[in-house]
Structure 1
Amino acid sequence: MFTIISKVLPVSFTAIPYETRRQTLLRSSAKMRRYLSLAFVVCAMLPSSYGFCTAKVQDQGKTHCFDEVDNKWHPVGSTWINSESMDCSCSRCCTVYAIPRNFPDDCVSVFDNVACVYKVHKRDDPSVECPFLGAVGK
């Protein structure tokens, strides 16, 4: 086994001075921390771009694609909002609304299908809007 390792690593690892090995490991761990930090930031940003998306398989050479929700054909390259308030193209559909969070207990959120938005109002008086401190989605 030692002969196999020595063929892969022509210089014995123990022959390298300790300080040089330490500096090499520190440099590589610093790079790894940078890459992990970048990956964390990218992963944290993804959910904020869209609340919910679905991907579609797009057939090459087709001039139109089919929206299964509304049962309509659309030209490739076009975008549309379907009856479920999804912003669609031939390759994906994503929600166009944000879901309110952190609003008072005496309030309720109701989805408006026509405007594709959630409205937050008092439970006993829909004419009085309520503030909300956060939302999930687009």
Structure 2
Amino acid sequence: MNAILVSLLVLATLVTLCNTQCFIIPNQNSGSNECKDLDGITHPLDSQWKTENCEECSCSQNGINCCSLIAVPVDYDTEKCKKVFNKETCSYKVVERDNPENPCAVSQWVL
């Protein structure tokens, strides 16, 4: 019984910390074997891809589902440090404002 309660507490904590940013583009042609994204590019049914905006997308009968791949630092010393985004790796690093060569500690990241 205690193991179940502990498992539920851990699950509730993980769900609370997870704030994934996702969106859906409904499929315009319900019988189609492809999806059209916002740029007008068509993708085969059941395909997956990554966008230049750091999103992972997939095509299904319902449409396109995309979720951000970017983990954003939210708990760090904002006066001493700043976040720097690298579009190539779709990631942030947190560094000292006065000496960007020195990384800063981050206690929490949010998707």
Q: Same fold (TM over 0.5)?
A: yes
CA distance in 1, matches of 2:17, 2:47: 24
RMSD: 2.2
* Alpha-carbon distance in structure 2 between the residues aligned to 1:124 and 1:65: 47
Equivalent residue number for residue 116 of structure 1? 90
Give unpaired runs (5+ residues) of structure 2.
1-7
Question: How far apart, in 2, do the equivalents of 1:133 and 1:109 lie?
Answer: 13
2:21 aligned residue: 52
Segment of structure 1 superposing worse, 110-119 or 51-60: 51-60
C-alpha distance in structure 1 between counterparts of 2:43 and 2:16, whole Å: 27
8 Å contact from structure 2 (residues 25, 37) kept in 1: no
Matches of residues 37-76 of structure 1 in structure 2 within 5 Å?
Answer: 41=12, 45=15, 48=18, 50-58=19-27, 59-68=29-38, 70-76=39-45
Residues 121, 88 of structure 1: alpha-carbon distance in 2 compared, 3 angstrom cutoff: same
- Matched position secondary structure for 1:56: strand
Among 74, 95, 109, the residue aligned to 2:68? 95
Percent identity, please: 30
The structure with the greater share of residues assigned to strand is: 2
Q: How many residue pairs were aligned?
A: 94
TM-score normalised over the length of structure 2: 0.72
CA offset digits 1:73-128 (Å, max 9, x no partner): 21111111111111111231111111101112211012111100111111122222
The higher-RCO structure (CA 8 Å, 6+ apart) is: 2
TM-score (normalised: structure 1): 0.59
CA drift of 1:62 comes to: 1.4
SS at match of 1:45: helix
Q: Aligned AA for 2:48?
A: T
